[in-house]
Amino acid sequence: MYAITTRWHLLKHPHSLRARRRLHAALQAPTVTPTATIITVTPGVNPNSNLSMAASANPKLAAGDQGLHSTWSHRAWVAAGCASLLVSLAKSISAACDSGLLLEPFLAAAAGYVLADLGTGVYHWGIDNYGGPSTPVFGAQIDAFQGHHRWPWIITRREFANNLHALGRVMALAMLPFDLATDDAVVHAFAAVFGGCIMFSQLFHAWAHGTKSRLPPLVVALQDLGLLVSRGEHAAHHRPPYNGNYCIVSGVWNEFLDKHRVFEAMEMVIFFRLGVRPRSWSEPESEWMEHAGDDGNRTSHGMQEI
Ligand SMILES: [Zn+2]
Ligand SMILES: [Zn+2]
């Protein structure tokens, strides 16, 4: 048991002492002046450290080719995703009314809401830890999430359709077979709520990065009730050791998954079966750590005042 524990620690933290010293030195160094028009350097960051070297990169890159604004293409995909979800929801309600079955569709919808949170956690864990920008299909998402770790505040500046269009496209294509294949009330109740929560998870994620005073009161209330992922809970995802709190719908699964080290167990299985190390086993370097931005309200961990 001791050997396994020691090996696990070495696998996860091969350079921990060196990296911790480097980070400590960076945080103790003198304040520097802004280095670019859109970037201001966080007070206390050494310009010669890895942190500030990474901050010299352009955060506009993290916004992607389309910047932060919504295009008509973005709006069209979001509209298509919403339409496919609404068709499914309408079919569920219609079939439930016709059959008189209400409890089963309601339970299916509740299951869709709970499992969507788990789904976002698994997906987020996967793209945070494996693959790269050139990975087929998922490369753009992997790159976008790495950019999000460097410049978390950018998500709060994205326009609605700009933030949701990728998941809108997925939902439009994924829901179409369901919409055409069945009229079952239970199936549609589950699919509509599960798909809706997945599609809007990026909006919930953006709200989790928001400032309490700037968010709609209803959103703050839902976050405080635990029905949407809370600002404080998601802030923990952006702090070392960067390997938990992956779920971004309600966050209801985060405590269970992190407490029981479910993702760490999956990482071990993948490592010993395939020899692939997750990014979270490396000490945080530029791809995980927040880079300085232009938001004066940010804390040292990239979250705005919560
Ligand atoms: Zn992440
Ligand atoms: Zn985030």
CA of 272 to the centre of ligand 1 (A): 23
Ligand nearest to the CA of 245: 1
φ, ψ of residue 298 to 5 degrees: the values are -70, 150
First to last CA, the chain: 41
Q: What is the DSSP letter of 243?
A: -
User: In this structure, which residues have their CB less than 5 angstroms from ion ligand 1?
Assistant: 128
Q: Residue 126 Cα, ligand 1 centroid: separation in angstroms?
A: 9
**Cα 238 to Cα 211, 216, 264, distances in angstroms:** 16, 23, 17
Is residue 265 a part of any domain in this protein? yes
Q: Compute, in angstroms, the gap from residue 140 CA to the centroid of ligand 1.
A: 14
Quote the DSSP letter at residue 248. Answer: -
Q: Give residue 228 CA to ligand 1 midpoint distance, Å.
A: 17
Establish if 12 belongs to a structural domain.
no
Ligand 2 centroid vs 268 CA: distance in angstroms? 25
Distance CA 12, CA 269 (A): 14
pTM attached to this predicted model:
0.76
Interval 35-80: pLDDT, tens: 333 333 333 333 333 333 333 345 555 555 458 999 999 999 999 9
pLDDT in tens, 172-207: 999 988 899 999 999 999 999 999 999 999 999 999
Task: Indicate whether 303 belongs to any domain.
Answer: no
State the distance from the centre of ligand 1 to the C-alpha of 201, rounded, in angstroms: 13
Range of the domain at 184: 70-281
User: Is the predicted pLDDT of residue 292 greater than 90, yes or no?
Assistant: no
Rounded CA-CA distance 101/106 in Å is: 9
Query: Is residue 38 in some structural domain?
Result: no
Q: Which ligand is nearest the CA of 145, by number?
A: 1
Cβ atoms of residues 223 and 233 within 8 Å: no
Query: From ligand 2's centre to the CA of 57, what distance in Å?
Result: 19
Q: How far apart are CA 67 and CA 88, in angstroms?
A: 32
- Structural domain contains residue 110: yes
Residue 19 lies in a domain: no
On whether residue 43 sits in a domain, the answer given is no
Q: In total, how many domains does the chain have? A: 1
Residue 297 belongs to some domain of the structure: no
Ligand 1 centroid from CA 96, angstroms = 38
pLDDT at 298 over 50: no
